[in-house]
Amino acid sequence: MLAMPRVRWLGMGAVILATVLVGVADENDVLTAFVRLTPKTAELPEMEATMRRIADQVVPCTVGIQVGHNVEGSGVVISENGYILTAAHVIGRPGRTVTIRFPDGTRVPAKTLGIHTEADGGLVKITTDGKWPFAPLVTHEDFPKPGDWCLATGHPGGFQDDRTPPLRVGRIIDVARNTLRSDCTITGGDSGGPLFDMHGRVIGIHSRISEESTVNLHGPVLAYVEAWKHLKAGEVYPPLPPSRFFENFDRDHDGKVTRAELPAGDVLSMYDRLLKTYQLDAEKSYDVEELTKIVGWQRVPQRLALEPYRPDDSDDALDAEQYVRGKAVLHAFQPIVATAARSTVQVLCDGQPQALGVVVDPAGLVVTKASRLQGVLTCRIHGGKTVAAKMTKSDAENDLALLTLEAEGLEPVVWSTDALRPGQWLATPDAAGTAISVGVVSVAQRRIAGTSGVLGVKIRSPEGMPTVEAVMSGSGAKRAGMLTDDVIASIMDQPVRSLAELQKAVGEHRPGEVLNATIIRDGETMQLEVRLGMPDDVFQDLMPFRFRGSQGLNGPLNQRRDDFPVAIQHDSVLLPRHCGGPIVNVAGEVVGINVARADRTVSYALPSDTVRALVEKTLQRPVATAATSVIATE
C-alpha cells in the first residue's frame, strides 16, 4: 500500500470518434514487449524503433495553450479540423479566447468549450480554418491497463521556441474511472498535455503530480469521449455538487469547517482568501452548507472538486519493481551497460561519493563533472579498489574536469559518434556494473541557456557598501560562514562599492563556482570561499510555488544545471552524484556523459563529440570511437 500523496496542480461522440481514429497504427505493429511485464533485453531495440516513430507522429500535434497573460498549459490536437483536448484547470471555464502555439511556431486563435469536472478535462476548438496535425484517441477495447507502456509529451516549464515538446517514457501504474497514474514524469506547464499508448493514440491528459516522481496523474481520455456532446456544447459536466468544494476544508469530517483544523499549505491559503474576501470570522466554526450559501459554489475553482487520488484503493496496481526505473526493467538493461561500466569510476570528495567519472585513457585519465569536486579527491574504480586522484584540467564552459588517477591499465571508453533522436533508449551505468536509471532522448541536442549564480544573501540597501541583511538557509554564503551585518568588500579581488557592483561581479559566474569573497566584520577583514547556488534553490522560500528549486516535487538537483553550449535532454531520473559518468545507447555504446539533473522531468548529457574534443586536446591525439552502429532503426 502507498501512503496518500500530497497532490499538486500543474498550472503555470460518434462524429468525433470517426474523425480522430483515422491513422491508428496497424495491429501488426504491436510488440510482445509492450504487453509483457518485463521486456527482454533483445526486445529493447524494437521497442526503441516504435518509440522513435511515435515521437515523429505526436510531437507536431502537441500544442501550447496561452490563457490570458499569465496561464500557460499544454494540449493535443485530436482532429484535423482543430479540436484540442487539454486540462480543465488550464482553461478554467467555457467561452474564453485562447492562443494555440504549435511546435513549428505557428500561432492560431481558439475558443474554450466545455470542461469535465471529475476527470480534469477541457475541450478547445481552433477558430481558424485549416487542416491540423492530430493524434488519434484510444478505443474502449484498447483502453490501457496497469503495466502498459506509455509516452508523454507536453511543454514543461512553458512553451519554449528552441525546444520541441519533450518526450518521456513510462508505464501505467493504476487505472480508475477518472484518473490514470503513470511514472511518465510531468511537471508545471505540462498540464493538459497528452499521454499516449504504444500505438501513438491519446489515452490521457496530464492533470497533477505529487512529490514522488512516480505519482503522475492523468485524466482518462475515454471520460471525455463519453461526455463529448456536453464538452462540445460548452457545458460544465457533470455539474458540481454544491458542497463538494467546501468538503475539502472539512478535514475531520464532522460537517463543519474551522481554520484550526487545516494544515499549512494550499488549502489553508485558499481558506484564508475566502475569509478575507467574504469578511468571515477566522475563529468561527462554519457548517459546510452554510459556507456554500455564503460563498456561492459556482464562483470557486472547479479543480478542487475532483476526487482525491488514493493509490491504496487500487487492487491491481503495477508492482514497483516493474516501473520504468524499477528493479525488473533495470535488470533488462544490465547486459547493455556492462561494457561501459568497466570504464566507469565513482568520484569521492573527502571520502564521500560526489560524482561518477569515465575513463578516457588507460594511464588513468578520467573525465567527470567539475562543479561537484572539492576537498581531497579519490576514485573507486571498477572492481572496487579506491585510488588517489588529482585535478589535471578543467573546462568551465562545459562543467568538465580531467582527473589523473594513481592507477594504470584501466579500460578506456569507446565513444559512439551517432546522432541521437527523440525516443532512443539511454541507460546510465555505475562502476559496479548495474544500470542506475534508464530513459529516452526527450529533445534533440541543443544549447541550454544559462543562469547566473547567487551568493544567497539579501543586501540591506542598494546604496553604499553592500551590507548583509539576511543570509539564506542552505546557501553557499551560509555554508561559508557569512553573517548578518557583514560588509562585502570584494569578489575575486574585484572591489564592490554598491549592490549593483556586487550583482555584476557575481553575475559573471555560474552556479557551482567557488568565489573568494572579502568581507569586513566588526572592523576585521576576512576571506570566505562561497560556492554559488541556483537562484531557484537559494531563494525558493521567497518565491510563489512554480515547480522550481531543488526540493519537493523536483527532488535533489545539481547546482550547476544549465548554460551548456550543447546538451542532450533525456528523462532519466538521477541524483546529482550520478552525474559525470557515461550514458549509453541501446547498443551499449557511450553517447555522452551525464552533466546535470535539472528538474523533475529533465537530465542533461554532454554529447560524445564535446567530451572527446576536450580529451583529444589534452592528449594531443584521437581517442577511440565505435566503428559501426548497431542501433536498430525502423
Can you list the alpha helix ranges (DSSP code H) found in 59-153? Answer: 88-91
Looking at the chain, the domain(s) classified CATH 2.30.42.10 span 457-533
Note the pLDDT of residue 19. 29
Closest CA to 338 of 475, 462, 431: 431
pLDDT number for residue 504: 96
> For residue 625, what pLDDT band results from cuts at 50, 70 and 90?
confident
pLDDT value of position 27: 38
SS3 173: strand
pLDDT at 269 over 80: no
Residue 184, pLDDT > 80, answer yes
490 pLDDT above the threshold of 60:
yes
Cβ neighbours around 281 below 10 Å, total: 9
Query: pLDDT by residue (tens digit) across 79-111?
Result: 999 999 999 999 988 999 999 999 999 999 999
Read off the pLDDT band of 266 (50, 70, 90).
low
For residues 142 and 291, which has the higher predicted lDDT (pLDDT)?
Answer: 142
How far is residue 400 from each of residues 62, 136, 343, 392, 595, measured CA to CA in Å? 35, 44, 17, 11, 8
Higher pLDDT, 271 or 618: 618
Torsion angle defined by CA atoms of residues 241, 208, 23 and 234, in that order, rounded to the nearest 10 degrees? 30
pLDDT of residue 82: 98
Q: How far is CA 238 from the centre of its chain?
A: 32
Contact 65, 11 (CB under 8 A): no
Distance CA 131, CA 129 (A): 7
Strand pairing class (107-116; 236-237): parallel
Pick the CATH number of 457-533 from 1.10.15.40, 3.30.70.560, 2.170.270.10, 2.30.42.10: 2.30.42.10
Q: What is the pLDDT of residue 244?
A: 62
Distance, in Å, from the CA atom of 532 to the CA atom of 370, rounded to the nearest integer, reads 14
- pLDDT tens track for 410-462: 999 999 988 899 999 999 999 999 999 999 999 999 999 999 999 999 999 99
Q: Is 320 helix (H, G, I), strand (E, B) or coil?
A: helix
Q: What is the pTM of this model?
A: 0.85
Per residue in 290-327, pLDDT tens? 887 777 654 444 444 455 666 655 668 999 999 999 99
pLDDT score, position 255 = 87
Three-state DSSP at 250 gives coil
248 vs 505: which has the higher pLDDT: 505
Contacts of 546 (CB under 8 A, 6+ apart): 12, 188
Q: What is the pLDDT of residue 211?
A: 83
b/e code 350-377 from CB counts within 10 Å (16+ = b): eeeebbbbbbbbeebbbbbbbbbbeeeb
pLDDT in tens, 56-67: 999 999 999 999
| pLDDT for residue 270 | 74
Look at residue 77 and tell me whether its pLDDT is greater than 90. yes
Lowest mean pLDDT among 228-232, 245-249, 341-345, 578-582: 245-249
Mean pLDDT of the chain: 88
Percent of the chain's residues with pLDDT above 90? 73
- Amino acid 199: pLDDT: 95
Does 624 have pLDDT greater than 90?
no
Residues 465-473, mean pLDDT to the nearest whole number:
95
| pLDDT of 241 | 60
Phi, psi of 139 (to 5 degrees): -95, 165
User: Given 2.40.10.120, 1.20.1090.10, 3.40.50.2300, 3.40.50.460, which CATH number is that of 333-446+555-619?
Assistant: 2.40.10.120
Predicted confidence band of residue 267 (pLDDT cuts 50, 70, 90): confident
CB 169 within 8 A of CB 440: yes
Architecture of domain 7-237: Beta Barrel (2.40)
Lowest mean pLDDT among 243-252, 319-328, 352-361: 243-252
State residue 29's pLDDT score: 44
What is the spatial distance between Cα 71 and Cα 259, in angstroms, rounded to a whole number?
29
* pLDDT > 70? residue 5: no
Residue 8: band (very low, low, confident or very high) from pLDDT cuts 50, 70, 90: low
* Whole-number pLDDT of residue 33: 43
- What is the location of CATH 2.40.10.120 in the chain? 7-237, 333-446+555-619
- pLDDT at residue number 7: 59
- Residue 574 CA to residue 435 CA, distance in Å, equals 11
